[in-house]
Amino acid sequence: MATEREQDHERIRAVCAQLPLIDAHAHNVVALDSSLPFLQCFSEARGHEALSSVPHSLSFQRSLQDLADLYGCEPSLAAIEQFRKTEGLASISEKCFDAANIEFVLLDDGLTMDKMVSLGWHRKYIPGVHRVLRIETVAEAILNQVVAFKSIAAYRSGLRINPLVSAQESENGLFDNLRAGSPVRVSNKALIDFIFLRALEVATSRDVPLQIHTGFGDKDLQLELANPLHLRAVLECPSFATARVVLLHGSYPFMREASYLASVYPQVHLDFGLVVPKLSVRGMRCAVSDLMDLAPVNKIMFSTDGYAFPETFFLGAKWSRDILARVLIEAYDNGDMPINEALAAADGILGRNALEFYKLEGRGGFSASTDSLSKLNQTAGFGVMERTPSFQPRLPPSLRTLPQGKSFKDGQNAQSLPGSPRAPKVDVLADDKVVDPVVAEKDAHEGVVVKHVRLLFADASGQRRCRVVPVKRYEGVVMDHGLGITQACMAMPSFTDSPVLNSGLTAIGEIRLMPDISTRRRLPWFPEHEIALVDMHSSPGTPWEYCPRATLRNVTQTLEREFGLTLRAGFESEFYLLKRVDGEKTWQGVDATPYCSSAGFNSASAILSEITSTLSSLGIQIEQMHCESGGGQFELAVGHFPCLEAADKLLLLREAVTAIAHKHQLRATFLPKYFKTGAGVGSHVHLSIWQGDQNVLMGKGSGSKHGMSKQGQEFMAGVLHHLPAIFAMTCPNPNSYARIQPDTWSGAYKCWGRDNREAPLRTASPPGCDADMVSNFELKSFDGCANPHLGLATLIAAGMDGLRNHLQLPEPTEVNPSLMKGEIERLPNSLIASVQAFEGDSVLCEALGKNLAKTIIAIRKAEVEYYKDKEDAEEFLVERF
């Protein structure tokens, strides 16, 4: 006989398996001859190249088997596509929707797709079909037909909605979008914020919910701006105190943040469609469990986020039933809720919560009322459905029952039962040959409790600094209110921890370090700690004018607002791995091998492998690596990202490389010139200019020259024009100028060239690009002492000056510029020279802000004075950089 606990487990499974569903968020189905590739049924990826990797995902393999069981065909993509073609849309829809057992669906028909069927078509398979109005697609004629509004601001400009945005700002934004030409796409942030706020006002006045896309999606989305915590400014507005909002998609990967918001704001409800079934089984369980950690269960709702293909509705329904059963059983076993509350939670999450929240009329089928629960106690859940699907799908593992008369014995689980359909985990991975590196990293730290969170920032001298707080205080206080630190932290040079004179900052006054929760990561080398990048605020919610991340964010937004452009950056980070020499105070390289040496790479392969694995777990993928010219010198190249993300990743890369080297009793240094006669160390940055998903640096059409578009030429001309002043940010230490010398591939002369590695600016055409087309340009004069946020901010400001004033590039330099003495300008060969250039550059000083510029100038001059007589300065600086 099964124990009482096992019987309760079965009752939870039965309720989850058999309840008719209220699907609170989905999209229209498309005809079978639609141009949409069927692979989009299994992934948010878009485009042929991205979709080609979908068959290697965990959810794809699982979903193929589910659909094969439903259709009675072979579990292959080809067999399922052939079945769909043979059977037709009506037949497969009947199978999918019958198996899903959905009673109501709320359809967002603002997602336009090729050959999309009407709302009425869906009523053949789902009794109740209601419309959700996507507010960015204005549709006043159907206002009286909708049961909810929806916003996709996360895709367009992010969730940092400005509650104070003015009508004038939005009007200017509208004109910007109209000037971009047809078809018009609403993308201006001020305009989107204004639309969002007015829609929320209307929704609140009509008591209609607003669904908000949060968390992950396809590649159009800037993930860090889809964090629901950015909505706090709106939620705090008194005018929206009675609003009703739904955070869609479980806010993945920000489930905890969403759960927190639902726990403290009465306006906030949650929906976990898309997270289920697009993640791995483990990922789905963790996501739904995280949502339930803080959020009241009556504020959590199910949806399939089905779209285009009837199969997406079936898979969403099937796995939502499974995963919710697993999570509720775990909560029941942990003592978080008694059995009657667990059953009521299932009823609420799978339908009743949405029924009441969206004010839908009626609900057939089973409801976990007191009378129903009493009957369920006697029947173990059988016979409680109003309508039974003609197809009984293969139940997921958590919904399978034990063989008659069987119960678990000590030391036995579902995997060890004879004939169990659940294979041991290692066999599944071995068969599928698919291992998610992020999941693998999490598994390695299973059971390790996070105790502290490091709050990381880089100061104006380029040094990485952090404050550390217990995780309980981080989540209870710091996430909302930040952590206090002296204002002087942004006026400290590399040689002392006191503010320099004439910086405008003193020991008097405090700011708040506000964590950017989207950057929070577990530290692979010390899993009891997590790390997060921080913004600096004068008070919570008010960015401080000296904050490097805010400065970069501001100029990035200006570039997009004025020109509709974004800049993407990818860094090549050089560093030395150093070891102590017995009896010596100095360091030496771990080897003496030359550039691209295979022997040097072999000798360091173990530590380099650990570094790349660590970076991968932090979300930083290495595109290539090799030995550099200095003995013990290596380079790691990272792909391109939006500037803020690229700068953040560079700081994390430096942090990780330093930590792994220390673990191996080595010193990693990014100092530009440690060895006086050895190769220097750079952090070369590759830059490309984008408009939407198009690289507009490439030369196409009229005005193109040198393989670059007119915009690309003007932007690069601005960078070249301001390069002497830019050096004060990208080469910010006196040591930097020992590296920038002629004939060292470091960029000592004011020029540019095509694949000319002696030029500071080099245009490039990587594999896959037309040989005559430029995909990006490289700035070689950027080193490991630079604060990457400030460096990129000055580059954007310089490029914008080129665009505003239509600056022109000179002809490219085709020879070694050191052979052209007298014909070409030498770039600053000392820090004081670049500081003087920066002081006289009103464009860059104004872009950074006059107060921040004043502080930076004071720091640079103090460092010039301090290091001018220090012959062994590198021995001190190697400890800092």
354-405 tens-digit pLDDT:
989 988 864 444 344 333 333 333 322 222 223 333 333 333 333 333 333 3
Neighbours of 379 (CB within 10 A): 12
pLDDT of residue 402: 33
Q: Average pLDDT for residues 291-301, to the nearest whole number?
A: 94
pLDDT at 853 over 70: yes
Q: Average pLDDT for residues 495-502, to the nearest whole number?
A: 88
Sort strands 210-212 and 245-247 into parallel, antiparallel or unpaired: parallel
Q: 822 or 729: which carries more pLDDT confidence?
A: 729
Tell me: cis bond preceding 183? Omega within 30 of 0 counts.
yes
Query: Distance between CA atoms of 539 and 537, rounded to whole angstroms?
Result: 5
pLDDT at 168 over 60: yes
User: Per-residue confidence at 611, pLDDT binned at 50, 70, 90?
Assistant: very high
pLDDT of residue 840: 94
For 464-490, letters b (16+ CB in 10 Å) and e give: beebebebeebbeebbeebbebbbbbb
**Cα angle 219-224-225, degrees, rounded to a multiple of 5:** 90
pLDDT of residue 382: 24
One-letter amino acid for residue 672 of the chain: P
pLDDT of residue 219: 64
**Cα angle 674-678-683, degrees, rounded to a multiple of 5:** 65
pLDDT of residue 675: 86
pLDDT at 116 over 50: yes
pLDDT at 260 over 80: yes
pLDDT of residue 430: 27
pLDDT of residue 311: 94
Q: Average pLDDT for residues 414-420, to the nearest whole number?
A: 27
Tokens for 206? 């009509």
Contacts of 3 (CB under 8 A, 6+ apart): 407
Tokens for 316? 């969403």
Q: Among 170-179, 265-274, 864-873, which stretch is predicted with the lowest mean pLDDT?
A: 170-179
Tokens for 576? 């030395």
Tokens for 567? 């800049």
Beta bridge pairs of residue 457: 465
pLDDT at 448 over 80: no
CATH 3.20.20.140 given to domain 4-384: yes
pLDDT of residue 689: 93
Q: Average pLDDT for residues 483-488, to the nearest whole number?
A: 91
pLDDT of residue 181: 59
- List the CATH code of the domain at 551-871: 3.30.590.10
Question: What is the residue-wise DSSP string for 686-755?
Answer: EEEEEETTEETTB--STT-BTTB-HHHHHHHHHHHHTHHHHHHHHS-STTHHHH--TTTTS--BS-EEES
**Cα angle 625-629-630, degrees, rounded to a multiple of 5:** 105
Asked whether 794 and 837 are in contact (CB, 8 A), the reply is no
pLDDT at 647 over 90: yes
Query: Distance between CA atoms of 308 and 107, rounded to whole angstroms?
Result: 12
C-alpha 593: how far from chain center:
38
Question: What is the residue-wise DSSP string for 639-666?
Answer: --EEHHHHHHHHHHHHHHHHHHHHHTT-
Tell me: cis bond preceding 228? Omega within 30 of 0 counts.
no
Contacts of 702 (CB under 8 A, 6+ apart): 710
Tokens for 221? 């989305």
Going from the C-alpha of 502 to that of each of 700, 853, 855, the distances in angstroms are 49, 12, 7
pLDDT of residue 369: 38
Going from the C-alpha of 207 to that of each of 105, 231, 241, the distances in angstroms are 19, 19, 12
Beta bridge pairs of residue 246: 211, 269
Selection from 537, 496, 500, 499 nearest residue 515 by Cα: 537
pLDDT of residue 381: 28
Selection from 538, 529, 533 nearest residue 516 by Cα: 533
Neighbours of 605 (CB within 10 A): 10
Query: Distance between CA atoms of 234 and 242, rounded to whole angstroms?
Result: 12
Instruction: Report the CATH fold assignment for 452-549.
Output: Ubiquitin-like (UB roll) (3.10.20)
Asked whether 463 and 880 are in contact (CB, 8 A), the reply is yes
pLDDT of residue 783: 92
Query: Distance between CA atoms of 578 and 614, rounded to whole angstroms?
Result: 20
pLDDT of residue 569: 94
Q: Among 243-252, 654-663, 754-763, 828-837, which stretch is predicted with the lowest mean pLDDT?
A: 754-763
Tokens for 798? 């310089």
Q: 159 or 811: which carries more pLDDT confidence?
A: 811
pLDDT at 822 over 90: no
Query: What whole-number percentage of the chain has pLDDT above 90?
Result: 44
Tokens for 182? 């047809």
- Helices 370-379 and 339-347 cross at an angle (nearest 10°) of 110
User: Per-residue confidence at 171, pLDDT binned at 50, 70, 90?
Assistant: confident
Q: pTM value?
A: 0.56
| Domain boundaries defined on the chain | 4-384, 452-549, 551-871
Contacts of 314 (CB under 8 A, 6+ apart): 66, 67, 70, 95, 96, 97, 99, 100, 393
Q: Average pLDDT for residues 469-494, to the nearest whole number?
A: 89
Query: Distance between CA atoms of 344 and 337, rounded to whole angstroms?
Result: 10
Asked whether 499 and 506 are in contact (CB, 8 A), the reply is yes
pLDDT digits (tens, 9 = 90+) for 71-81: 999 999 999 99
Q: Average pLDDT for residues 534-538, to the nearest whole number?
A: 91
C-alpha 371: how far from chain center:
47
pLDDT of residue 139: 33
User: Per-residue confidence at 440, pLDDT binned at 50, 70, 90?
Assistant: very low
Q: 108 or 723: which carries more pLDDT confidence?
A: 723
pLDDT digits (tens, 9 = 90+) for 571-588: 999 999 999 877 677 888
Q: Average pLDDT for residues 598-616, to the nearest whole number?
A: 88
**Cα angle 158-163-166, degrees, rounded to a multiple of 5:** 100
One-letter amino acid for residue 707 of the chain: G
User: Per-residue confidence at 756, pLDDT binned at 50, 70, 90?
Assistant: confident
Burial class (CB in 10 A: 0-12, 13-18, 19+), 833: middle
Query: Distance between CA atoms of 486 and 479, rounded to whole angstroms?
Result: 19
Going from the C-alpha of 131 to that of each of 39, 105, 387, 760, the distances in angstroms are 26, 9, 24, 56
Contacts of 567 (CB under 8 A, 6+ apart): 556, 559, 642, 643, 687, 688, 689, 690, 792, 795, 796, 799
Q: Among 447-456, 635-644, 783-792, which stretch is predicted with the lowest mean pLDDT?
A: 447-456
pLDDT at 846 over 90: yes
pLDDT of residue 204: 85
Q: Average pLDDT for residues 777-791, to the nearest whole number?
A: 93
pLDDT of residue 328: 96
Q: Which conformational region is residue 154 in: left (phi greater than 0), alpha (psi within -120 to 50 degrees), or beta?
A: alpha
Q: Average pLDDT for residues 25-36, to the nearest whole number?
A: 90
Q: Give 335's DSSP letter.
A: T
pLDDT of residue 685: 94
Q: Average pLDDT for residues 595-603, to the nearest whole number?
A: 85
pLDDT at 157 over 80: no
The alpha carbon dihedral of 493, 499, 505, 507 has a sign of positive
Asked whether 415 and 424 are in contact (CB, 8 A), the reply is yes
**3 state SS of 125:** coil
User: Per-residue confidence at 291, pLDDT binned at 50, 70, 90?
Assistant: very high
Going from the C-alpha of 810 to that of each of 47, 713, 717, the distances in angstroms are 38, 10, 8
Asked whether 121 and 182 are in contact (CB, 8 A), the reply is no
Tokens for 73? 């065909």
Beta bridge pairs of residue 573: 636, 683
**Mean pLDDT score across all residues of the chain:** 82
The alpha carbon dihedral of 413, 418, 422, 426 has a sign of positive
Beta bridge pairs of residue 134: 150
Tokens for 321? 């039933």
**Cα angle 100-101-107, degrees, rounded to a multiple of 5:** 80
Q: 99 or 419: which carries more pLDDT confidence?
A: 99
Q: Average pLDDT for residues 121-134, to the nearest whole number?
A: 86
pLDDT at 449 over 90: no
One-letter amino acid for residue 801 of the chain: D
pLDDT of residue 57: 87
Q: 287 or 746: which carries more pLDDT confidence?
A: 287
Beta bridge pairs of residue 483: 513
Q: 476 or 431: which carries more pLDDT confidence?
A: 476
pLDDT of residue 63: 93
Q: Give 761's DSSP letter.
A: E
Query: Distance between CA atoms of 610 and 520, rounded to whole angstroms?
Result: 21
Q: Which stretches of 6-121 are assigned E, i.e. beta strand?
A: 21-26, 102-108
